[in-house]
Amino acid sequence: MRLSSSLNEKPYRSVMIATIAAFLILVGKLVELQIVRSDYYTELSSRNHIRSVVRPAPRGIIRDRNGVVLADNLPAFTVSVISVEFDSTNAGLLGDLLQADREELRERLDAAEATPYRSTQIVSDLTVEEAGRVADNLYRLGGVSVEVLPRRRYSHGFSFCHLIGYVGLADSTRVFEGELTGRTGLERILNRRLAGSHGVIREVVDTHGRVVERYLGGDVEPEPGENIVITLDSRLQLVADSLIMSTGHPGAAVVLNYETGEILVLSSVPGYDTNQFIGGISSENWNKILNEPGKPLLNRAWATAYPPGSTYKIVSAAWLLESGIVDENTMPDPCYGTFHFAGSDFRCWGIHGRLNIVGALTQSCDTYFYRTSMLGDMDEMAEFSRGYGMGAPVTDILPGEVSGALPTRELLNHLFGQGGWGLGNLMIASIGQGEVLASPLQIAVTAALIASGGELPALSILKKEPPSGVTWETNTSEETFRIVREGMRLAVSSSRGTLHGSMSYLPVQVFGKSGTAENGPNEDHAWVNGYIEEPLPVAFAVIIENGGHGGAVAGPVAASIIEKILEISYETE
C-alpha cells in the first residue's frame, strides 16, 4: 500500500518545502512591516487623510437692462500650499518654477504656516505658462496645488463703481482660501444671491500629501450664483458720466422711468476702477484714490445730500397750492430783487416783478416763495415734502442711501435752541436752501412724482423683480399737479424760463426746474430736475458740484442725456 503512495512522496516533499518557504517569506515581510517598521507605518497611517477641496461657485453675472455684461468672471490660476504637507526644502524649486523672489516666497510660505492644515494661496493671477510649470512638477511638490479660481471682472468699473461695487477676499469668516465676498454696492447687498454655494470634492491624499484620487461619495456640486439683471442702461450711464466729466466738476445724474419705477441712470462722477480692488488693492493705488481731488469714493447719486436749491420749488409750490396759501391766480407783492423782512435781506437772483405761481416757477423767483411760504407752517411743509420722497431714503436696496433733511421745529430747536431761529428759516427752506438737504436721487423722485401725478411705483434697481420698498403719498390734487407742470413746462418753453437756453431746442417737450444752490463760501451747485413724457416717461435730476448756474451748467448736461434717450428709443422702435 505504501508502495504506490511513494509515487507521490517526492512531489509532496518538494511542494511542502516550496510552500513553507513561500509562507516564510511572507512572514518575513510581515516581520519587517509589523514589527521592525511598525512605528513608521503607524506614523504614515495617522497622516493619511481625505482632504476636502472647495470648488468655488461661479459668481453671478451682473448685466444691465440690455444684457450688457457689467460684472463677470475670468479663470485665474493660483498656487496654494498646505503647510503640513509641504516639504520646505522644496521652496527653492517652487521659487524657480514661479520665477518668484526668494524672500517674498519665503515670507508667504511662513505666513501659510499660520493655517498649517489649510490650503493657503501663495501666488495668484498666474499665466497659463507659469501655472503649467508648477502643475508639471506637482509630483515632487507635496502639499502644493494649482487651482483655477474665478476672478471677478468689471466691464465698466468706473461707471458702476458705486452701484455694483466690488468684491474682495473674504475675511476671517471665509469658508475657503480665495473666497470672494461682495465688499460694496450690489456686490455686497446681493452677496448671498450672487455668491451661489461652493461645492466640495473630497480628495484622497496619500502619505506624502499628494492627491491620489477622488474620494467618491460626498461630493457637493457648486451651485452657481444667481445672475442679476439691473434696470440701469449702461449706454445712458456712460453718456451721463462723460457729460458730467466734460463740465470739469464732480457731479451726479439720476434718470428713472416714472411709470415703472425703474432706475435707468445712477451716475456719480468721478468714479474709480473697481477692478483694482479685486484680490486686494495696493496701498499705493488706495492712497491715489483717497487723495484724488474729486473724491471718487464719494457716491454722489444717492449717498450725498446737497442743498437742492430751486429744484425743490416744485415741491414747495405744490405745498403752497395744497395748503391754500396761494392759488393759480395769487400774485403777491412784486419782486424787487431783495425782500426785507425782520431786519434781514432775503435776496432773489433777479428782479421779477409781479408773478403768479406759474411765473414764479418759470423764472424761479425766490421772492414769490419768501412772501408766500412765510404764511405757512414749517412742520406742514416738511410733512408734505416727505410725501415727495424727501427726508427719508427712497429705496430699500441702495447701500448707504442718505435721508437728506427737512427743517422742522424739532430739528431747528435742536440745532439752534428754542428761539434761536425764526420765520426766515422757513422762507429759506421754501427755495431749497438752509436746512433742506436731498440727494440727486430724491430730487429726481420729486420730479417723477409730479410727472406721474403721485402714481410713481416703488423704485427698482433689479429687473424682473416685483417692486417693493418705499412708496409715497403726495396728497396733491390733479389741479395742483397741472399748475406745477405748467410752471415746469414754461421754465423750458418760455423765453423767460431758466432752462429755455439749454433745453428748449430739444424736439420733445421737457418739463424742468433749474436750481442754483448756494453752498456756503464755495461756488454754487448747479442743479436741474424735470421729466419728459415722450418718447419715454422718464424723470431726471442732475447736479454739477460747484458748477455755478443751474440752467447754464446742469441744464445742458440734462439736455444731452435726453438727446441720448431720444436716440436710444428711436433705435429700439
Which residues here bind other proteins, judged by CB under 8 A?
Answer: 1, 4-5, 7-9, 11-12, 14-16, 19-20, 22-23, 25-27, 29-31, 33-35, 37-38, 40-42, 44-46, 48-50, 204, 206-207, 212-213, 215
Least Å from the CB of residue 97 to other proteins: 21
Between 34 and 127, whose beta carbon lies closer to other proteins? 34
Nearest to 476 by CA among 387, 362, 376: 387
For 315, the grid coordinates are 415741491
Least Å from the CB of residue 22 to other proteins: 5
Between 75 and 218, whose beta carbon lies closer to other proteins? 218
End-to-end CA distance of the chain: 113
Between 218 and 400, whose beta carbon lies closer to other proteins? 218
Provide CB contacts within 8 A for 269, sequence distance 6+.
241, 244, 245, 250, 251, 252, 294, 300
| Cβ-contact 447, 530 below 8 angstroms | yes
**Distance in angstroms (rounded) separating the CA atoms of residues 71 and 64:** 10
Pairing of the two strands 49-55 and 62-63: unpaired
Least Å from the CB of residue 200 to other proteins: 16
Least Å from the CB of residue 51 to other proteins: 12
Between 148 and 212, whose beta carbon lies closer to other proteins? 212
Between 13 and 482, whose beta carbon lies closer to other proteins? 13
| Cβ-contact 531, 537 below 8 angstroms | yes
| Cβ-contact 407, 425 below 8 angstroms | yes
SS3 content of the chain, % helix, strand, coil (to 5): 40, 25, 40
Between 114 and 216, whose beta carbon lies closer to other proteins? 216
| Cβ-contact 286, 168 below 8 angstroms | no
Least Å from the CB of residue 47 to other proteins: 9
Least Å from the CB of residue 297 to other proteins: 51
Which residue is associated with the grid cell 466640495? Answer: 200
Least Å from the CB of residue 24 to other proteins: 9
Nearest to 513 by CA among 395, 328, 365: 365
Helix, strand, or coil (residue 120): strand
Sheet holding 263-269, edge to edge: 263-269, 251-257, 538-544, 522-532, 510-519
Q: How many residues does the chain have?
A: 573
Between 30 and 290, whose beta carbon lies closer to other proteins? 30
Between 11 and 343, whose beta carbon lies closer to other proteins? 11
**Distance in angstroms (rounded) separating the CA atoms of residues 267 and 311:** 18
Backbone angles phi, psi at 446, to 5 degrees: -60, -40
Between 18 and 175, whose beta carbon lies closer to other proteins? 18
Between 215 and 286, whose beta carbon lies closer to other proteins? 215
Nearest to 309 by CA among 546, 2, 145: 546
Between 41 and 505, whose beta carbon lies closer to other proteins? 41
Least Å from the CB of residue 38 to other proteins: 4
Least Å from the CB of residue 204 to other proteins: 7
Is the peptide bond prior to 535 cis by the omega test (within 30 degrees of 0)?
Answer: yes
Least Å from the CB of residue 210 to other proteins: 9
Least Å from the CB of residue 143 to other proteins: 17
What is the four-CA torsion angle of 174, 178, 184, 186, rounded to 10 degrees?
-90
